[in-house]
Homo-oligomer: A and B are copies of this chain.
Amino acid sequence: VDKHSSAYYDLLAGKLYSAVIADILDDLGARNNVMRYDIRPLFPEAVVVGRAATMLAVDVYQIPAAPYKLEMEALDSLKPGDVVVATTNGTTRSALWGELLSTATRARGGRGVILDGFTRDTRQIREMQFPVFATGVLATDSKGRCDVIAYNVPIAVGGVLVEPGDLIFADYDGGVVVPKAIEDQAVERALEKVVGENKVREALQAGMKVAEAFKQFGIL
């Protein structure tokens, strides 16, 4: 399967979840790849899988000569399968994201958004069922308050370094970054672990002791 295709991302979204991926990354020694707990989805069903297209934004204190310039460039360069991953360096003064940007992202084949920052237009984004993850919600626009200064550069989101092109997986448990070097291995083993968990679940439902189940399956 083509690892840059919608089919691949849809497969992962349908079969995996962020906790099982985090477990496999732990096993593979990548123990710091889960984003901080306060990056939350706008609605519980939101799932995002795709490739990181990064944006680095920063607080400013005057309206720039060309407002939104790099942010628009970044969005107009999105490719199908991309996930917008952005940091605002923790600002609480404005929202970098909103409905029209979500519309534009979806129109280019973008699959969702992960923000270490705020969004707005949340009623409309929920209605679109467009998966946006953010640290908060605020009605205030970013113009003259927060500006994108670079895109497709390494950034930290939720405490995890994200390189452009990294596989991103996020659901109601939060976001995980899969490093390119171990992506194949991680996905393969995560798919296997899901099967194992199904067996444990059935055993526990049937009344097996937890200690016994862990001994038998090695999963908890």
- Closest CB in chain B relative to A134 CB, distance in Å: 10
- B107 and A204: CB pair below 8 A? yes
Partner of A156, one of B37, B59, B171, B220: B59
Once bound together, how far apart are the Cα atoms of A90 and B88, in whole Å?
11
- B161 and A211: CB pair below 8 A? no
Instruction: Bin chain A's interface residue count.
Output: 35 or more
- B174 and A137: CB pair below 8 A? yes
- A34 and B138: CB pair below 8 A? yes
The yes or no answer to A139 lying at the interface (CB within 8 A) is yes
**Chain B residues, CB < 8 A from A7:** none
- B139 and A22: CB pair below 8 A? yes
Interface residues of A (CB under 8 A from B): 17-19, 21-23, 26, 31, 34, 36-38, 40, 44, 56, 58-62, 68, 72-73, 75-76, 87, 89-92, 95, 98-101, 103-104, 107, 118, 120-124, 126, 136-141, 143-144, 149, 153-156, 161, 171-176, 197, 200-201, 204-207, 209-211, 213-214, 219-220
